[in-house]
Amino acid sequence: MQIPDLKLKELKKVVRFHDVNTYHQAYTHQEYDRKFEEECFGHHQLNNVSDKQLQRLKLILERKRKLEEEQIHHSMSNSQVPIVYKGVIDDVIEKMSQHFLSQGLDHLILNQLSANWEQKLIQLNVADFQQQQQPQDSTQNSSSQLFQGNPYLVNQDLFNTYAAANMANIQQSINQQVQQGAGNNSNGFNITQNDGQDDETLPKSVLDEIEPPLKTKKNKNLKTQQLNRHEIDIILIKQLDGNEDGDDDSDEDEEEDLDQNLGSDLDDSDDSDDSAQPVDHLILCQYEKVTRIKTKWKCVLKDGIVNVNGRDFLFNKANGDFEW
Amino acid sequence: MLKVKSTSLCNAKNLMNSETQYQLYRRSSLGSTLTDALDELISSGLMDPQIAMKILTQFDSSISEALRTKIKAKATLKGHLDEYRFCEDVWTFVIDNPTFRFENETVTVEKAKIVACSVKAPEVK
């Protein structure tokens, strides 16, 4: 792997930029910046940081960023999306079943459509459907609660864990989890059906016929995100078990190990994350007013569906300020 | 540099269905997954295309209704306007480096596209 030519200042800038995005609610920026710098750079003299140390730091930060993204995934403002979407699906199916009844059409097809539709939606992973549908999954619940309760604390723990834990171990468990994750989809699908208003279950053959309709791009995304969620779960479980040694400065051998493992894993997820695929960020909405004064545009938007970074948000009203 | 596209690219006429609901939201994740599911049923011969169109029409009004009544969230959006066009009552903006501020989350991306129909539904002719 190429050693990235990254100066410490640039690195910090990246980190700060990210933290502003993540922590503007939980902490004031300055406070978080300070804590973060202590956490990351406290042990090093800023001026004589070797390339190797920088590289390691960068990898850890990258990993940390991914974990934080996953944390957002659990707790943030698109939590209503699954509920609203489910409501729309039910509404469409209900209204259409009235129509089907009056026309004397086979009702079974609607059940199939509804199940099919939900499954595709879950695969898109635009919001946390799984959490809504698997409330009995205590691990996931506890993790999101922890995150909401004190994000900084947990993150520090995660960070320490990553810095010191035996990566090979984690790697192995991740692989296992990914395999389980692949099976999870069908799990959610079944539960979905039971949740629906119709108790009829689909014939097995129908389930088998349903092929993953997504482009490979989306599938990759899905995989990455699932991986991240499972990583968090694994780490949390490890922490609860007290298996990790929470010391940042462990011996060099482990650091080497960490470097290699982090590097290879990171490469994989990076490929599927950003560089290979330009994500289409789309906002579908209605406008109330669009005005322009010289180069400044102001829009008042209503009833929008926003898709950014593969996740959906909904808004009742949005103000847009653009400079042309 | 001004980049206003020609009217041929606009499809506002297709944006309204017979019940004066926008078909705009069919492009969302929820709409596209429905379309995919319907396509599968049609191609396997299980569903009549006309029924599928009816279901999509129902989706148009269900999603509009849900957005109108169930969502209270506000958002703000800032960025550099790269492209804009307006025809047949549809605004399209392409924003460079937009920052979305949702209720408890801020997201910045490289480029985003806004497609917006008028809140006031045009009169049906």
Q: Which residues of A touch B37 (CB under 8 A)?
A: 113, 116-117, 120, 213
| Interchain pair A287, B28: CB under 8 A | no
Q: Which domains does chain B have, with CATH numbers?
A: 12-72 (1.10.287.190), 73-120 (2.30.18.10)
Q: What is the pLDDT of residue A2?
A: 36
Q: What is the pLDDT of residue A125?
A: 84
**Taking CA atoms, what residue in A is nearest to B114?**
A283
Tell me which range, A35-44, A52-61, A84-93, is most confidently predicted by mean pLDDT.
A84-93
Closest Cα in chain B, distance from residue A165 (Å) = 30
**Taking CA atoms, what residue in B is nearest to A288?**
B119
Among A149-163, A231-245, B98-112, the minimum mean pLDDT is found in A149-163
Is residue A78 over pLDDT 60? yes
Q: What is the pLDDT of residue B32?
A: 95
Is residue A246 over pLDDT 80? no
Is residue A183 over pLDDT 80? no
Nearest to A305 among B25, B105, B109 (CB): B25
With bands split at pLDDT 50, 70 and 90, how would you rate the model's confidence at B85? very high
Amino acid at A170: I
Q: Where is B96: in which H helix or E strand?
A: strand B90-102
Which residue's structure tokens are 């960025």? B79
With bands split at pLDDT 50, 70 and 90, how would you rate the model's confidence at A127? confident
Residue pLDDT, tens place only, A268-305:
444 433 344 455 799 999 999 999 999 999 999 999 99
Is residue A47 over pLDDT 90? no
B109 touches chain A (CB under 8 A): yes
A5 touches chain B (CB under 8 A): no
Tell me which range, A103-112, A136-145, A234-243, B1-10, is most confidently predicted by mean pLDDT.
A103-112
Q: Of A320, A258, A309, A255, which Cα lies nearest the Cα of A282?
A: A309
Tell me which range, A5-19, A38-52, A278-292, is most confidently predicted by mean pLDDT.
A278-292
Half-sphere exposure of A70 (CA within 13 A, CB side): 26
Packing angle between helix A51-75 and helix A29-41, nearest 10 degrees? 140
Q: Of B35, B53, B1, B102, which Cα lies nearest the Cα of A283?
A: B102
> For chain A, what is the mean pLDDT?
61
Give the whole-angstrom CA distance, residue B95 versus residue B113.
Answer: 6
- Tokens read off for A100: 């089907």
Q: Which residues of B touch A315 (CB under 8 A)?
A: 71, 73-75, 102
* 8 Å CB contact between A285 and A316: no
Q: What is the pLDDT of residue B114?
A: 94
Averaged pLDDT, A84-113: 91
Three-state DSSP at A287 gives strand
Q: Where is A323: in which H helix or E strand?
A: strand A311-323
| Interchain pair A313, B33: CB under 8 A | no
Is residue A41 over pLDDT 50? yes
Give the whole-angstrom CA distance, residue A185 versus residue A209.
Answer: 15
Is residue A88 over pLDDT 60? yes
Instruction: Name the residue with higher pLDDT: B89 or B16.
Output: B89
With bands split at pLDDT 50, 70 and 90, how would you rate the model's confidence at A118? very high
Instruction: Name the residue with higher pLDDT: A25 or B97.
Output: B97
CB within 8 Å of chain A, chain B residues 25-84: 25, 27-30, 33-34, 36-38, 40-41, 44, 46-47, 51, 54-55, 58-59, 62-68, 70-81, 84
Give the whole-angstrom CA distance, residue B68 versus residue A32.
Answer: 38
Instruction: Name the residue with higher pLDDT: A74 or A110.
Output: A110
Give the whole-angstrom CA distance, residue A180 versus residue A168.
Answer: 19
Give the whole-angstrom CA distance, residue A252 versus residue A108.
Answer: 63
| Interchain pair B29, A308: CB under 8 A | no
Instruction: Name the residue with higher pLDDT: B70 or A20.
Output: B70
Give the whole-angstrom CA distance, residue A122 versus residue A183.
Answer: 13
Q: What is the pLDDT of residue A293?
A: 94
